[in-house]
Structures are given as structure tokens and as C-alpha cells.
Structure 1
Amino acid sequence: MTSVYRARAVQEPQIQFDHIFCVDRGGSEAYEDLENTDMRLVGREILADYINFSAKHSKYSELRITSLPELPSKVSSVEIGRVIYEFHSPNASIIRRELAELDVNSVDEIWTPSDWCSELVESLKPQDNQVAIKTVPNQVDTRYFNRKGQRASLSRPEGAIPVSWIGRLENNQKNYLDFLLTIRKLPKQYYGLMLYSFENDPDRVQKFLGDAAAFGVLDRIELYSDVPQPAVSDIHRAVRDAGGVFYSTSLSESFGYAVLEAALCGCRVVSFDVGPLRQHPVTGVTFIDVGDIRGAVSAILEVSKSNTVVEK
């Protein structure tokens, strides 16, 4: 969600955005360079009171809420122009639960980031819920994610081929286990370049390291933590120029930022075919069935053979 909120502020510099979070997992630094953004951390138990107080002293045109279905009924719509509830999860059970808790009389619109996600929410919405669902695509910061920017310096020697991955170190959605299994089955010159973020639980990192060791690929994995957006784009271009591939093993997506951003940097992509990924107007993406490790290995080998340097 950090990328979603940041990109909106970048696209509309004339608008002031006040971002209020209940938990800080390290994403606050993403807003430090934006003059039209104020990031605040407020406890969930006092969040409604804080918003109601702030609304009386600021003229907010919209209140956009994510992952807090109980909140719309607790805020004063008198002081706020519109109340919008956003779904960004591709998980049907999460959407169903939030819809059950959401007071539709307190919401003006429901937003999702893709037509695919809108259709999913519509299919799960109770029949008596008449709130309009609107697709508002996420924005990509093309100042960074483009073919012509700088590239990072990779630590592996010339001839090593990077296979990059982005996500949290979990297997409910981002599914690092299939990534590790794919690296194990690739030739030795291929290595995993994994960018992970918002991990404040050392046990999760330790579990990942144990899994990588169990798969026999710990020495073929490089980990990068909480990489800022400009550096992520530099890495995409470096992977591209090294003949590498961005590989998405995500089991579900409501939009698919990582796949789109990598493709916009000219990096070839191999991805599980989930959610709305095929709807993005980009080239250089090879889709495979979810869990098809043999197909992933074949696609990565084929793509890396044909990968060329483009528009440095």
C-alpha cells in the first residue's frame, strides 16, 4: 500500500494528502521527499476520534479507508466530503469478512485497483449492498520505472544470471518457496536476487534462511531489505542488462505492481498467471500456470537466452 499512496501523491502534487497509519512497519520513509504528504501514526483505538477531530480543523474533500471496515461508521460524514472504502486484497475470504463488517450507509463508493478486483468484490457483495464499485487503477511512478534510468551494480561476477523477486517473506501470497525451488532446479550460474520489505519479525527471516538452506540454495540467494523505489528500478535495469529475469511466484494479485514496474524497466518477466496481470499494457511478460515449476524453469532459461540490452 505504500506504493499506492505514494504514487497518488506524486501524480497529484496540487493536493495535500494526510496519510494515517495504525502500524509502522518501516514504510514511513517513502514519503519523506514529498512536500504534499503528511504521514502520521495513530493507535487504532483512538483512530476514529483523531479523524473526527482533524476533520473539524481541516477541509477534507475525501476520506479513503483501507483494511478498517469498522471505521466508516465511526467518522463524521458532516465534516468530510466523501467516504471511500478501498479493497486492495485479492483474497476472497478477507474481502468477504470486510464486507460483512462494513456499514454501507456510511460509504459513498467502493474502490478497487483493477477490473478483475472489482468483479471479485461485486461477486462477494451481499445483494442488499448497493454501494457503487469503481475501478481506480494504481499509478506507477514512471520517473523511476522506465527503461532509460541508471542501473545498480550487481555483486556477482560477470556471467552470473540474476533472477529477481519482490515480496514479503511469507507463503500465503508471495510464495517464496516456489521461488527457492525454481532456483534449485536452474543451472548453477543462476542466482536469486530477493527484495523483501516490512519484515519486523526476526523469526520470519530466520525461517526463510532455514528454508533456503534446506533447499540447498542459501549460497545462491542475495537478500535486500526495504529497498527504496529509485533503487528498485535501478535493480530492475541491472537484472535486465545482466540477461536476467524478474520472476513472480505470487499466488494472488489485485493489481500486480512488481510485475508492471519490472516490465516498464525493460526487464523480462516470468510470472504465475493470477488476477489482472494479463490486463497490463506491457510487453515482455511470460505467463505460466500457478505452481508450474518445470514451466518456470523452461521459461526463465528461454527468456534469459533471448534477453538483450535495451535503451540504457
Structure 2
Amino acid sequence: MRKLIVYPNCSKGGVSSVIRGRARDEPNVEFDALFFNDKGGLNAFDDLENVTVRIIRSDRSTNYLTYLTSTVQYAEISVLSHPATANLLSVELGHSVTYEFHSSDLSVIEREINALEVFRIAKIVAPSGYMAGLIEGMLPESVKSRIEMRPNLVDRHCFSPDGRADFFDGSKFKADSSSIPLVWVGRFDLGKGYQFFVRTLAQLPNEFIGHVIVSIEDDPHRANRFLSECSELGVSDRVRLYLNLPQSRIASLFRSARDKGGMLVSTSLKESFGYSIAEAAACSLPIAAFDLPVLAMFEDSAQLVSVPTGSVQALAAAILESAGREKVV
């Protein structure tokens, strides 16, 4: 059995986690992952024998997909974040297409729905019941029955309590050996709330060090805003920035932070699923996060502490309490 997944950017971000989770869950299924842009994720699936990665220029994608789907019988064709490709496959080529929404930005979702030949889409998928409900309200009445919730899967071969926890070994920063690590994973956009992480770090004692993981950025201005915020708040020397880490290294960082009494800090203002939270929890790393509706799925986890969204004071207090401290300094 073979399945096709199409997504614009080949990176080491959330969609690579989506594909990896499915490939681990279905080891007897061959996954063809097709991308249009190389964003540093070409080797993200090297350890998975049942994932084949192809990067095709978007201006050649029509001919390529026409040929590919005429020669391979796919059990499922999934398209993410690219309405034009979904329309090509469903309308022009007559295939049954599953369209998946993984963004938490409702304006992005609305634009994609408006660009879709939505009546020709066989299934519409969201990663959580919360997002499925929101998307359902944006769909024409006659297609609402096609939406389904398909939870994202964590690659538990990689993200587990056991495994390498040597991320800080040999660090060039002497302070890291005795520090308390705070891990932040995301993109430098306002929806991920990176500014709240920086402001929280500024309220904490110097022994708290921020470890920030992002995928490759196209827009240097986004990274510049983050770095400027760090500089203005005087925490530049307490921030470590990592670009495009493979999942094995992220898992090692999670376990290493856990062993040093650290936490994952999520400052997202909206989430469709909360992948970094799920992966950190799988590594037994405690989590402090803004209280979002989608995080209800983690409410039984003793590792998750939620605070009012946007409250830097509450977030800093939760981190201090986890570290055995009494108050913000």
C-alpha cells in the first residue's frame, strides 16, 4: 500500500512530524512525500525506510503529478496548505483527495477554503476536535459531513523518556553546565508569541537559559525582531538559537532539559494541535503553556501547567514554582 502526501515546504517543522508519526504508525505502508521547496528538511526522514522524499519545482508539479498518479495506485492522496494542487488532483485528474488543515490561523484557513474546489474534496481533516469544529463552521453546509478529526501522532521511537540525553555535553557556553534550560519551539511569528517567551525569560534569574528551536526562516526581518527583543530586554547572552534541528536532537534536548530541572515553555496564542507539547510530554519534560482550548487533550497530564494566555507574570511564576523558587525577581 502507498500513500501520497503533498506539502509546499520540505523542512524539519511540524509537517515533518506529521509524516514521521504516520510512517512509524504504519510501517507496512509506503509514503511518498512530495514538496516544492527545499527548506533544509531533505534528510528529515533518512531513518525511515518507508518514506520517499521528492522535491519538485512548483512550475513542474502539474506534469509530475499527472505522471505519478497515473503510474502509482495510491490508497490515499493528502494535500496540505496548497489548494491549487488539491484542485488539480481532484478536479482535473479525478482523484479522491484528502485536504488537511494544520495551521491555527483562521484567516489562512479561510483563504485556503475559498481557493479550494471544496465540493470535489473527498475528506477534510483537522488534527484536533477543537480545530475541526472551527473549520466546520467555515464550510458550506453540504460538505460539513466530510470533515474529520485525525489526531497527529508522536514518533515515540524518537520521543520517549528513554534515550540519549547528552545535548549539553561539550557546550561552548560554560553557563549551560549549571543552568536551568527553558526550551521554546516555533516560528518567529506573532501567533507563536515569541515575544512573551523573551519577556518571561527577562523576569527570571540568570541561571535560566532559553533554548530556542526554529525552522529555516525566509524573512530575515522576523529573526531580527526576535533578536532585537532579546537585546532590548538584556537577555541576549541567555538565549541559544538552533536552526533546523533533526527530531533526534530535539528529543535529546527535551530529555537533557528534563534531567536539569528545565521545562518546555509554549507561548503560542493559538494552536491547531500543540506538537511540541505532545513531543515534550512523551520525553517526560514538564511544560508551562498559555491556556488554549486545544490543550484540553493534555489536561490529564501532570506535566502540563497552563496559565492565562498572555500573562508573563503567571508564566514566570509557574516556571519558578517548577524549579522550587518562590517568586519572580
- Note if 1:244 corresponds to 2:262: yes
Relative to 1, partners in 2 of residues 1:153 and 1:65: Cα closer, same or farther, differing over 3 Å?
closer
**2: CA distance between counterparts of 1:80 and 1:19?**
20
Which residue is equivalent to 1:66? 80
1:270 is matched with which residue: 273, 288, 295?
288
Give per-residue Cα distances to partners, 1:49-80, cap 9 Å, x unaligned.
Answer: 32121111111121100111122232267977
Q: Distance in 2 between matches of 1:65 and 1:85?
A: 5
Provide the C-alpha distance between the structure 2 equivalents of 1:182 and 1:39, rounded to a whole number of angstroms: 39
Q: Which amino acid aligns with 1:139?
A: L
The change in CA–CA distance for 1:80 and 1:3 in structure 2 (over 3 A counts) is farther
Change beyond 3 A, Cα 1:193–1:68: same
Q: Which moved more, 1:201-210 or 1:140-149?
A: 201-210
| DSSP-derived class of the 1:84 partner | strand
Matched, 1:8 2:22: yes
Structure 1 residues 159, 33: closer, same or farther in 2, change over 3 A? closer
Q: Is the 8 A contact 1:250 1:272 kept in 2?
A: yes
The residue number in structure 1 matching 2:6 is none
Gaps in structure 1 of 5+ consecutive residues = 307-312
Letter in 2 for 1:212: C
How many Å separate the matches in 1 of 2:214 and 2:90?
38
Q: Quick check: 1:55 aligned with 2:69?
A: yes
Q: Match of 1:182, as an amino acid?
A: T
Structural mapping, 1:91-130, within 5 Å: 91-130=105-144
Equivalents in 1 of 2:138, 2:144: separation in Å?
A: 12
Counterpart-to-counterpart distance in 2, 1:127 and 1:222? 48
Q: CA RMSD in A?
A: 2.0
Q: Any conservation in 2 of the 1:110–1:131 contact (CA below 8 Å)?
A: no
Aligned-pair distance for 1:285? 0.2
1:310 is aligned to none
Aligned AA (1:9): A
Distance 1:72 1:131 in 2: 19
Cα deviation digits, residues 69-98 of structure 1 (max 9, x gap): 122232267977631000111111111111
* Aligned counterparts of 2:92 and 2:111: Cα–Cα separation in 1: 27
1:128, 1:102 → 2: CA distance? 15
Shifted more, 180-189 versus 99-108: the winner is 99-108
The count of corresponding residues between Structure 1 and Structure 2 is 305
Of 97, 103, 110, the match for 1:89: 103
**Equivalent AA in structure 2 for residue 115 of structure 1:** G
TM-score (norm 1): 0.91
- With normalisation by structure 2, the TM-score equals 0.87
- Distance in 1, matches of 2:31 and 2:201, equals 41
Amino acid at match of 1:298: A
Identify unmatched segments of 5+ residues in structure 2.
1-14
After superposing the two structures, state which structure 1 stretch, 231-240 or 204-213, moved more: 204-213
Distance 2:83 2:145 in 1: 14
Which of 230, 234, 249 is equivalent to 1:212?
A: 230
Report the Cα offset of residue 130 of structure 1. Answer: 4.3
Tell me whether 1:259 sits opposite 2:277 in the alignment. Answer: yes
% identical equivalent positions:
34
After TM superposition, the structure 1 = structure 2 runs for residues 1-312 of structure 1, keeping only pairs within 5 Å, are: 1-75=15-89, 82-130=96-144, 132-154=146-168, 155=171, 156-168=175-187, 170-280=188-298, 282-305=301-324
Contact 1:270 1:285 in 2 (8 A): yes
